Structure 1
């Protein structure tokens, strides 16, 4: 089944050219089915790139999905036109009385700031509080994961000596057969990271309501879940495209910043080479497991029956 998105969203043409099944609004209206309502709070500066990445991952689900794109009205994006935001995005005020099957909170390039110094922190706190009663299951990604762990559990972030940047090897450390986030995963898998701060396993383990699912010897904690699957925290960027890290690297080089070549990314660590994607299978499976086991099979048919999450 396809993702339902506006007919003129730029991602639609991109994904159709990749032979990904996307359904426009007009066709979707003729299907007698309740689609899953997924909200994407897009905190990344390159919003069109990020929305396309997440839509690409969710397109692998057999479920019909209706996407609502959200932005923070307290921060004006510098890299996305006002026209695009007004046409395709909603503010929190516009959806705060609605309920959703799932919510994705993306990363943001603000991890060097204290949470309270981020200009939209108060608004984000409102959204995360709202999600407890108006969303069945929420995925928090990269800085969004650090923000969620801090808001919901008081878990701090710590600055790194150097940027965690590249593709890193991860291993499953929780073999609980009841945890369907990991269903079908290899024992070892790759995922991209691009961040200046970290959360630490010793802080997370103080909270018995949280489970650490996967870690990396180099990149640290990767995946943390609430006991009943209504919260998932992912410290990397599984949604990244083949060239996203290259774009970030080239941008920083052009700015004259002291940036290392991304780890395990370019062949022979040569930035002139073409990176090989080694994380796409994991990324697709992660989103598919979330949509299937923690959204579709758990959320009530009547979203008005949502109870507060744990």
Structure 2
């Protein structure tokens, strides 16, 4: 089944070229089924790239998925046009009385700031509190995961001596968990962050389960009530995303090492390989199936 997105959304052309099954609203209303309603709070600077990455993964299941995009009313984006946001995004005040089967909160380039100094922190706190009663399951990515761990469970982030950037190996600690059904015991995932969270604090927290761990530290964390899933890395990334970030930082004059375990033979002139694609699709498929579709009520009260 397809994902349902607006007909004029730029991501549509890219997804159609990749043969991702998408549908517009005119056709969707003729389907005699109950689609899943997914809300994406996109905090990433290059919003259109993130749209494609997430829609690609959400469109790879037998489920029909209606996707809505959310942006912060208390923050003015400098990297995407107001026209794009006005046409394809909504704000929290417009959806706060609705229910959603699933939600994704992305990463954001604000990890150098304490949470309280992020301009939209109060608005994000309101949204995360709202998810407790209005969303069946929420997936948090990178800084979004750190924000969730801090807000919901009191686990703060800490600054790394050097940026964690590259492709890292992770080991499953609970391979029978539905979230990682079909995963290899050891798998790869991209990371790109300057902060991390404490493995010890996660393991000592009674409401949390550390699902996978590895070279880059805790990666996949889940609340035991299955409401919150936190990913400290970026399984949604394209093969070239880390290379683009590396070039961006170099052009800014930032002294930074090339992403680890990423370029073939550590040669940054060679095209990186997409070594985490299958697990990306598996994760999103498992989340949609086991934690959203099979848990959400057919009719919200």
TM-score, normalising length: structure 1: 0.96
Superposed CA RMSD in Å reads 0.7
CA positional deviation for 1:205: 1.7
Please give the secondary structure, in 1, of the residue aligned with 2:218: strand
In structure 1, the partner of 2:257 is: 260
The CA distance in 2 between the partners of 1:77 and 1:149, in whole Å, is 25
> 1:174 deviation in Å?
2.2
SS of aligned partner of 2:155: coil
**Residues 161-200 of structure 1: pairs in structure 2 closer than 5 A:** 161-175=161-175, 177=176, 179-200=177-198
Aligned partner of 1:201 among 162, 183, 199: 199
Partner of 1:307: none
**Counterpart Cα distance in 2 of 1:112 and 1:295:** 32
CA distance in 1: counterparts of 2:16 and 2:167, whole angstroms: 28
What is the distance in 1 between the residues matched to 2:7 and 2:51?
A: 15
Cα separation, 2, equivalents of 1:54 and 1:229: 21
Q: Secondary structure at the match of 1:303?
A: coil
* CA distance in structure 2 between the partners assigned to 1:249 and 1:41 by the alignment: 25
How far, CA to CA, are the matches of 1:166 and 1:22 in structure 2? 31
1:232 aligns with 2:229: yes
Q: Secondary structure at the match of 2:48?
A: helix
Corresponding position of 2:285: 288
Deviations 1:241-290 (A, max 9, x none): 11111110011111111011001111111111000000111111000000
CA shift, 1:56, in A, is 0.4
Question: Does 1:128 pair with 2:125?
Answer: no
* 1:1-310 → structure 2 map (5 Å cutoff): 1-175=1-175, 177=176, 179-216=177-214, 218-304=215-301
> 8 Å contact 1:103–1:137 — kept in the other structure?
yes
C-alpha deviation, 1:206, in angstroms = 2.1
Q: Distance in 2 between matches of 1:261 and 1:26?
A: 46
The gaps in structure 1 that reach 5 residues or longer are 305-310
Which residue is 1:308 aligned to?
none
Gaps of 5+ in 2: none
Q: Which runs of 4+ in 1 moved over 3 A?
A: none
